[in-house]
Structure 1
Amino acid sequence: MIKRALFGLLGAVALSTALGQAQASDDRKVILGTNNWAENVAVANMWKLLLDTRGYDVELKSIGKSVLFAGLATRDIDVTLELWLPTTDAPFLAPYDDDIEVHDIWYRGTGLGLVVPSYVDIDSIADLKGREDEFAYKGRPTVLGIDAGSAIAALTDDAIDRYELDMKQVNSSEPAMMSALSDAYSRQAPMLVTLWNPHWAFAQYDLKYLKDPEGVYGDNEDIYWMSRLAFGEDFPKITQVLNAWEMSDEELATLMAGIESRGDPVEGAQAWIDEHPAQIERWLTAGGL
């Protein structure tokens, strides 16, 4: 009887310990929603590495941009790191305004619009009219863009209509678009793409935005991070750290370029972390991590 009671007690203690460990693990679990934009992949992998080393269990969940907002509102996603305001992502945020918390800016002064290599002798979207045939892709005048559900794709359709251009937008993935741009650049051929900064392409190629006199693409914006409601209460240290986080155009460009050159987001992000210990320490110290 004594042995049986002792075994029962030990079993209860073991079960209690296991449940406690599971609860502790759950309390450190963070679902970080990502999309396929180069800067999003870069900073998401950087923060996963940093938070994992501080005892958190960060899972990256790659989904479409519009789904990110719904996921935050339904609490299926804890946090995502890219919200362009006041214009680009406002339509995505509006339906969930009461169910998502917008936090601090981490990147200031974005760019967004139609981009050509600098050797192209056109400087304005308005100047494309009548010269559309020069920008043929697979036999037809084309603006080569990214996925159809992105904000920049919708703005580009608006630009084609506003400037009355006789061309179509072909939507593809960002890697496919960049591959086509790289091929055209190597041949010094005209190419018209949708791009934004921050982006590693501006460090690798000599590119220029076409002026937008109609203001279709809006003014420069800032990038915020956002979370589900109550994330700040559940993860106060992470919230303080991310609110203290800021990156310059050069810093973000070197992070993205490192990932692009290595062909591996984890390896590239880790290399950047290793090269910027003082900056990393400032961010983490802000949250007591």
Structure 2
Amino acid sequence: MNKWKKELSLLLAVLMFTVLTACGTDEASGEEEKAKDLTFAQISWAENIAVTNMWKVILEDKGYNVDLNLLEMGFTMEALESGELDASLEIWLPVQDANYLERYEDTINFSEATWFDNAKVGLVVPAYLEEVNSIEDLNEHKEMFNGEITGFDPGAGTMEVTEQLIEDYNLEFELLPSSEPAMIADIDNAIENEEPIVAPLWTPHWVFSAYDLKFLEDPQNIYGGVEKIHHATRHGFEDDFPEVSEWFNNWKMDDEEIGELIEYVESTEEPIDGARKWIEENQELIDEWVK
């Protein structure tokens, strides 16, 4: 009887060890899988959709799981501060997103590294409006534009700068918020009918290759000069993902590269397919970032 009890105890011990080992393996596997999960903000701007999908492809090819959450800029900053998001790949400085930098510089990591160094922001009009070449010309032609500036996402830094511009130039205009796709549709419709329209826009953007637009002179330099595009991450991201952090800091694109990427993404039904095609054709460049 004692021998039987000893054998049973030994069997139970072996079974318990097996179960605990299996559970430990599952937990470790789960933790490892969780450690590979990334969540990035996506904003409905052409270049943002392009680069977020590009990085989704790059990182998933490296074994990460990447979710893209569509958010406007204000919510993006709040989610980075709370740690619900890992990264936002598009921060314009020194002017456009300066308000967010000032508000969140202690609770969000804004990169010193930049991935695009030749960005520009300003009010644009169709080139056929020969009589309007400066922001200072707008009040004189207020009726032509119905006193309206066609805008995009209300939380964007450029929209806040444009509100400040209206005040500083004493413009008798109202800034109408909408979304980038809606703003581009309004520009398309206006140009098709050779009608006037004024809107805040930026480069890099595919719209300048599709339409003949011109930036209005900004004598007060409210929009600033050359803008640089940075990325931002939640606190702790560099410790949790040192490899990805290094890759982001290595990331650099010029006008031709970002323009082609946007074109590829815009020309496919699914943005991810356009991004993947562009990556396949530019693997040497990608290898420089993720070396």
TM-score interval, smaller chain: over 0.9
1:181-196, aligned counterparts within 5 Å? 181-196=187-202
Which TM-score applies when normalising by structure 2? 0.92
The 10-residue stretch of structure 1 (165-174 or 106-115) with the greater mean CA deviation from structure 2: 165-174
Letter in 2 for 1:82: E
Is 2:110 the counterpart of 1:132? no
Letter in 1 for 2:200: T
1:244 corresponds, among 231, 250, 254, to: 250
Is 2:74 the counterpart of 1:66? yes
State the shift of 1:9 in Å: 2.5
Alignment deviations for residues 201-220 of structure 1 (CA, whole Å, 9 cap, x no partner): 11221211100112121121
Shift in alpha-carbon separation, 1:46–1:109, aligned structure 2, 3 A? same
Alignment deviations for residues 36-68 of structure 1 (CA, whole Å, 9 cap, x no partner): 222111111110111011011111122221222
**Paired residue for 1:78?**
86
State the shift of 1:34 in Å: 2.2
Aligned-residue CA RMSD (Å): 1.5
1:49-60, aligned counterparts within 5 Å? 49-60=57-68
Letter in 2 for 1:15: C
**Paired residue for 1:117?**
126
**Paired residue for 1:154?**
160
Contact 1:125–1:210 (Cα < 8 Å) also in 2: yes
Alignment deviations for residues 254-284 of structure 1 (CA, whole Å, 9 cap, x no partner): 1112211224211111111111111111111
- Cα distance in 2 for partners of 1:33, 1:213 equals 34
The 10-residue stretch of structure 1 (51-60 or 224-233) with the greater mean CA deviation from structure 2: 224-233
Letter in 1 for 2:91: L
Which runs of 4 or more aligned residues in structure 1 lie more than 6 Å from their structure 2 counterparts after TM superposition? none
**Paired residue for 1:270?**
276
1:254-269, aligned counterparts within 5 Å? 254-269=260-275
Percent identity over paired residues: 35
SS at match of 2:247: helix
SS at match of 1:152: helix
State the shift of 1:147 in Å: 1.8
Which TM-score applies when normalising by structure 1? 0.92
**Paired residue for 1:31?**
39
Contact 1:108–1:222 (Cα < 8 Å) also in 2: yes
Alignment deviations for residues 157-200 of structure 1 (CA, whole Å, 9 cap, x no partner): 22223333332111111101111111111222221111111111
- Cα distance in 2 for partners of 1:150, 1:190 equals 24
SS at match of 1:109: strand
Contact 1:117–1:185 (Cα < 8 Å) also in 2: yes
- Cα distance in 2 for partners of 1:78, 1:171 equals 28
Is 2:232 the counterpart of 1:226? yes
Unaligned runs of 5+ in 1: none
Is 2:103 the counterpart of 1:89? no
State the shift of 1:3 in Å: 4.4
2:290 corresponds, among 280, 284, 288, to: 284
Letter in 2 for 1:128: L
Is 2:38 the counterpart of 1:46? no
Matched pairs, number? 281
- Cα distance in 1 for partners of 2:41, 2:270 equals 19
SS at match of 2:267: helix
- Cα distance in 2 for partners of 1:48, 1:5 equals 46
Contact 1:69–1:93 (Cα < 8 Å) also in 2: no
Letter in 1 for 2:43: N
State the shift of 1:126 in Å: 0.8
